[in-house]
Chains A and B, each alone.
Chain A
Amino acid sequence: MQQSAIAEKLSPEAFAEYLESQEKKSFLRFITCGSVDDGKSTLIGRLLFETKLIFEDQLAAVERDSKKHGTTGEDIDLALLVDGLEAERQQGITIDVAYRFFTTDKRKFIVADTPGHEQYTRNMATGASTADLAVLLVDARHGIQVQTKRHAFLVSLLGIRHVVLAVNKIDLVNFDRAKFDAIREDFDKFARSFDFDTLVAVPISARYGDNVVQKSDRLPWYDGPSLLEHLEEIEVQSDLIERPFRMPVQWVNRPNLDFRGFSGTIATGKIRPGDPVVVAGSGREAKVSKIVTMDGELPEAVASEAVTICLDREIDVSRGDILVPPAHRPEVTDQFAAHIVWMAEEEMFPGRPYLLKIGTRTVTAQVTEIKHRIDVNTFDHLAAKELGLNEVGFCNVSLSEEIAFDPYETNRDTGAFVLIDRLTNATVGAGMVWFALRRATNIHWQALDVSKASRAALKGQKPAVLWFTGLSGSGKSTIANLVEKRLHAQGRHTYILDGDNVRHGLNRDLGFTDADRVENIRRVAETSKLFTEAGMITLVSFISPFRAERRMAREMLAEGEFLEVYIDTPIEICRQRDPKGLYKKADAGELKNFTGVDSPYEAPEHAEISIDTTTGEPEDHAERIVTLLKEHGIID
């Protein structure tokens, strides 16, 4: 029954009854996927329209707008009800995820409306991440397209288990049953591998409303439910409560000394006072003493409820921990394999550190290896050294500390993560954990008896890394060499890691792509770290063009050990000097990915020292660097 119909025969009793039914409405979040031409916006517009949540003045506004942008002549263009931002209304395409709402007597619906173009994989992943069902639209005239397969793949990747194939524009193929059956069979064939829990195909015409809300008598051969009937009836989340209890702790609730509770949203399962819980990771155990809410203490709390749990004894629990039952613990690891959807313009390189947020926990992470990239159109596995925008990879991920997780397919809340760029703070990737990598647990640190400090003390110095960065030809090696001579003369123990020299040995397998540059720096940073363990003063002379890797090197070392030396020579001067004739080659196109020519250099923002080589002699610059070492207490 439609809402307006109820309102019309509004008696006080009927209204009270109506309100009661409204309060017990269930909830479904779904995503619609399709291209601009499949009529996706029209379908959503139709659902909103028919469920009477489109108020008359919004309709009036749409009638006005239709005259400017409409594509359906004098009719109201339902798609204009849903397209949001000014720019995209003018382009006539949808460019981001939009969330719409409609409600029937049985359910409240949230629709994530996402565009279907290839370049918008990230939007689809975003919309799918909170959806429990996907409506895939195809045009009855064209059948299953490459993008339909892509949508099915992404929907499956993001863990959606329920799919509706809406075969739209059935009016344009004369409501032909054979056409519909052929499309459904096509889809079944390739979707079989995804093993969706439910898969229902519905022939519809969004434009004219056939089978959208009500069964259409123009499709007498179709005996299934209308699209909306199906959306109203399907059960999608019934098993969340049956799974093991998980509650990531968001906030420690401590109003006074007498109360200490742990606030969070229950991801899965249920909990009652008296139930034992452990902190995943530490394994500390306690019993739930009470479940507190402003509406009173609860005898039981279940999945998706936001509560505050008190324990019967003081154990160490803080934000980021997960409370779990002792008998059903999640995995705890610092290395796992995961699918990653890359969402940033700047590529993801293995070895580059990012922040990883999983549940309520944030740690530092790096992808150690891209096992393969997945072509979202063919599902082929391809070799990859980097992940670009909208690419999907299966990766090994290494973390700065151990975290607790469940595989994504068993728990979307404790198995999903986002990756955050540490400089821009942008969300650059989304990941779904598959399994822990056991390797980590089997390689333990070998404890050594002679320490870094004792080795350095024997040499009468503190270990340090002088990291020279700058363009090719800026004078890094010249100055580093002079600095080493001075230190050597003073009896210091030093070593130079020079970019060109290291590339002849340790790094001779690496080229000059961005991905290889990142790996190049990672290895050198690791090597210089070993030298500091040995107590040495290490001079690293590498172009090291990217801030992120220099920062990674800095963070690998102890506080105060890393001194960044920026050899700040303008590119025109480097080009004039061109000591190895490299600029000439790069300008002639014989040398690819040359920093400053066709590959970027990101100047340091907080170098310990910047050397302007356009004034003064190299000896003066070297002297300044030696002074810097004294100021930092590396040498006396």
Chain B
Amino acid sequence: MADEAKSGGGLEFHPMDQFIVKPLFGEAGDAVHWYTVTNVTLWLALAILAVIGLLVLTTSKRAVVPSRGQSIAEMAYGFVYKMVEDVTGKDGLRYFPYIMTLFMFILCANFLGLIPMSFTTTSHIAVTAIMGFGVFFAVTILGFVKNGASFLSLFWVSSAPLPLRPILAVIEIISYFVRPVSHSIRLAGNMMAGHAVLKVFAGFAQVTAVAPVAILGVVAIYGLEVLVSAIQAYVFTILTCVYLKDALHPHH
């Protein structure tokens, strides 16, 4: 708080305030227990409703000639289905519902977070880390269940010269364990950075002289954020597919 006051000189920047988790009912200072209904709950519930609205309500007519909403649902389905099939192959299609769940959740949460005054659930490391580490553990366990010990050949690059292989193995192992970290922090960092930048630009709009430029900047960054929201959902999903492919077919 102190550094805001010092750097401010009249300007008020609170770029991080939008990420505060607070109870939905009751005082702002109330303790947040694991069961407390918070703004996280609200926006997660809205994300569920958005998914239901996008995929269930639009397809309720089961029309052969699709309506506009049904086309969106079919496009989302076809997009993820094709992605899973292309990256992991036919045997990866068993895990399609899980990947579709991740994709639709992240997409809806990202887009809902772009609504002004909203709360971006995917900007929280706790949320993305659960998904990232969830994918990591699921994929690792799956790899060992499917391939047994030969799953470890993922780290033994048989195409490299023999003296290099131990070194490469160390690098591969490190990169394997960095995966969930980068996987989750990429999403959270992108969302957090984008929203913080929006807030900073909005803060500049308090100064009359630069307000038009600041508002133009907000518009431009907002457009970029719409793009980033979709791309990050896509990237998270396709990386999940890539990791899944490594678990199903560990041999290079």
- Does A associate with B in a complex? no
